[in-house]
Every structure is written in structure tokens, then in C-alpha cells.
Amino acid sequence: MHDINAIRENPEAFDAALKRRGVEARAADLLARDDARRKAISESQELQTRRNEVSKKIGQAKGHGNEVAAQQLMAEVSSLKQDLQNAEEAERVLKAELEAAMASLPNLVMDDIPDGADEDDNVEIRRWGQPTQNPAALQHFEIGEALGQMDFEAGARLSGARFVVLRDGLARLERALGNFMLDLHVNEFGYREVSPPVLVRDEVVYGVGQLPKFEEDLFRTENGYWLTSTAEVTLTNLVREQILDHVSLPLRFTALTPCFRSEAGSAGRDTRGMIRQHQFSKVELVSIVDAESGEAELERKTQCAETVLQRLNLPYRVVSLCAGDIGFGSRKTYDLEVWLPGQNSYREISSCSYCGPFQGRRMNARYRAEGEKQTHFVHTLNGSGLALGRTLVALLENYVNEDGSITIPDVLRPYMGGDEKIEAAHGA
């Protein structure tokens, strides 16, 4: 959500920032609505003042037993009633219209992100590790199916397209990855582990900006719950409608949760394999910070996510998303793209975003500095650290051996009972 006062102060800057995203100018329209709204507020407040004055006198007259005077005053004020109702209704409507107009507008991007229209204009920031080039490299689903531990037919039988069943070593590998990542972020980077709900109500989804605009990307239960598409939704909303002490910031939360996405509009993309599923597990990293710390926290968070890939020894690159490709609620986003030999390309495995006060305002989440009266909206950040399914994909393609077995990276072995390899299941 945007700050209408900031738009009033500098409408040109607002429109210019929207334009970088390819969104048409809106400031003039919003300010006209705001002007009408404020006029309506003044009008209804004026009527309220008059009503309150007379009503007090009525109370006093009745208190003194002066019924005649009271009756006169009541007759006088009753004529105000309809006017007041009309004025209040007008105010309500104008306020709702302004909010609706703003709720669907994306966050303003930061000055230092690249210009561009789509993902082709994203800018590579750095690379880590040596990508292996091998024309004969297998894709993860070929490797997993050969192991007899990645079963898309079973997934289809249970649930349909874009679902998978993992078994044996691969099932355990996924669990090991989750534990490894959580331990890393909790023990080394100071995140607090959280186990949140995955079913949430409307306003929570609105708070992070997925509603009202992206309803079609989400699953919903028949009685009105939304299935969270990422733990960002719940972890960020942990502070909704709160006023935090400045000294308690930053807050850093991590959680391992299933994520549910309808993938509407992705028809035909990544139809084979585990890259794009309706349900996947992810370790999420969320930070709640003050207005000054957001940019530094984005760098820190990106490092936290990168460390996972480094410990797993998976080659990757960091990409800064351009203005046309960046997400709705973000001001600046780094994507981490892991090297997939089977696809001979880098694929997104993490996305770290700095949202400024955009979500804080939608959630009405604030903080207050020691001894100050003024409250400020919290700034929020989120990032994957990492998506388990895609990490498993990367491990298969980067760690597959000649015989089809998978070497387990050193850091995961304690989580795999000391095993060094995943080999074909019995009877596969």
C-alpha cells in the first residue's frame, strides 16, 4: 500500500517510479479521489461538531429537569440527522474507492535496480562455483525415476498433474535438506524458528500484497481459508497490527512449510519434473526491520541464502531483477539461480526481496523509537532459503554418478544417518 501523503507531496516521483514498471501514471487520479475524500471528511466532521454541541445541551437540560427546553433542542438537531448520514456515507464510499484504487498498485522500485521490461533485462551481479558442461547430462526426473524414488505417476494418481511422490533415499534427502537449512539459519544467522499455519484468512494474504490482485494464483478452501503460497505470508504477518519497540528490531523468522500454488498462467511451462509443482516445501527467511536497515538486511539475507548453496557446493549466480520483472510488493529483488547441468542453464532457486514499508502499511505493523511518540511502519524482507524441491533437483543433476547413484554432500550426511550415497531402491 502506498502513502497518499507522499503521493501528494511528490506526484511526479510517484508516476515516474510506476512508469519504470510499465504502469501508467496514477497520481492525478489518486489525488483527485483523495481531495474529494478529505472534503467529505471535513463536511461530516462539521456536522458532527454541531450535533455533539446540541446533544450535550439536551443532556444538560434533561439533567436539570427542563423538558421543554430539551424538546426544543431535539427538534432543532433532528434536521441534521439526514445530512449527517449522507455525509458519512459519502465519506465511507470515497475512502473505500481510494483504498481500492491504491491496493492494486505495485510497490515503487528502488532507484538502483536495473531498467527493463522482462527477465531478459535482469542483471547478473556475481557467480559462484564452476558450472559443469556435459551434453549427455541427465535431467533430474530421469535420474530420480531411474533410482525408482521419484514417482510422477503416483503423484498423478493421487492428485493430478504437478504433483510427485518421493520415496526412500530421496524422501529422506528432502527431509535432510530442510533440517540442514533450518539449523544453518537458526544457529549461524540468528533466525527464530517458527511453525506457522498454512491456512489463513483474507486480511493476512492482503497484508503481504497477494490480495486483491493475485487471487487466481492461490488455492482456497470451501470455507474461505487461503492455502499459503509461501511462509512469507504467515511470518511477515506475525507483526500485523502491532506496535513494536525499536530495540526489538530486527526480527528474523524462519520456517519450513509446504507451499501451495495454483500455477495459473504457467500452463505448458516446466510440465515435466519437480521444477514447478502445485505443492512444494520451502525454508523461508523473513526480516522485520526499521526504516534505515532495509537495504543492508537485503544483502545479509541474500548471503544467508547463498551460504546454503555454498555449503552444498552447488554453482549459482545472483541476479538483480529489473523493474519490469520484479514482484508486486518488492522494491528490490535478488534472485539466486542454481546451475542445472541437465538443463544446461541457471534456474531460480531463491528470491530475496526488500519491500520497504509497503507490507507494513497494509498490515498496520509499526514500531516506535525509545521515548518517541511517533510511530513508523515496519520495513519487511523475505527470501527463500531455499526451496527444497528445486534444491533436490540441483543435487541430483550435480551429484549424479556414472552408475546413477547420488553422492550425498558432506554437510547433509549427518542428516542422512551417515550415508554417503543414494542408490537405486530394491526392486526398482
Partner RNA sequence: GGAGAGAUGGCUGAGUGGUUGAAAGCGGCGGUCUUGAAAACCGUUGAGCGUUUGCGCGUUCCGGGGGUUCGAAUCCCUCUCUCUCCGCCA
Catalytic positions, please?
261, 276, 348, 351, 390
For RNA, which is the closer residue by CB, 162 or 366?
Answer: 366
Residue 137: strand, helix, or coil: coil
CB of 359 to RNA, least distance (A): 16
Nearest partner of 330 among 295, 279, 364, judged by Cα: 295
For RNA, which is the closer residue by CB, 81 or 413?
Answer: 81
Contact status, residue 321 vs residue 336, Cβ threshold 8 Å: no
Alpha carbons 367 and 246: distance in angstroms, whole number: 6
Can you spell out the DSSP letters for 214-240? TGGGS-B-TTSPEEPSSTHHHHHHTTT
For RNA, which is the closer residue by CB, 103 or 411?
Answer: 103
Cis peptide leading into 250, omega within 30 of 0? yes
Alpha carbons 365 and 195: distance in angstroms, whole number: 21
Place of cell 498423478: 156
For RNA, which is the closer residue by CB, 63 or 268?
Answer: 63
CB of 223 to RNA, least distance (A): 9
For RNA, which is the closer residue by CB, 160 or 224?
Answer: 224
Place of cell 450535550: 56
CB of 198 to RNA, least distance (A): 14
Footprint on this chain of RNA (rule: CB under 7 A): 5, 38, 41-42, 45-46, 48-49, 51-56, 58-60, 62-63, 70, 74, 77-78, 80-81, 84-85, 92, 243, 366, 368, 373, 375
Cis peptide leading into 386, omega within 30 of 0? yes
CB of 39 to RNA, least distance (A): 8
Angstrom distances, CA of residue 54 to CA of 32, 69, 77: 34, 11, 7
Residue 255: strand, helix, or coil: strand
CB of 66 to RNA, least distance (A): 12
CB of 49 to RNA, least distance (A): 4
For RNA, which is the closer residue by CB, 17 or 204?
Answer: 204
Maximum Cα–Cα distance for the chain, whole Å? Answer: 102
- 274-285: b (≥16 Cβ within 10 Å) or e: bbbbbbbbbbbb
Contact status, residue 266 vs residue 233, Cβ threshold 8 Å: no
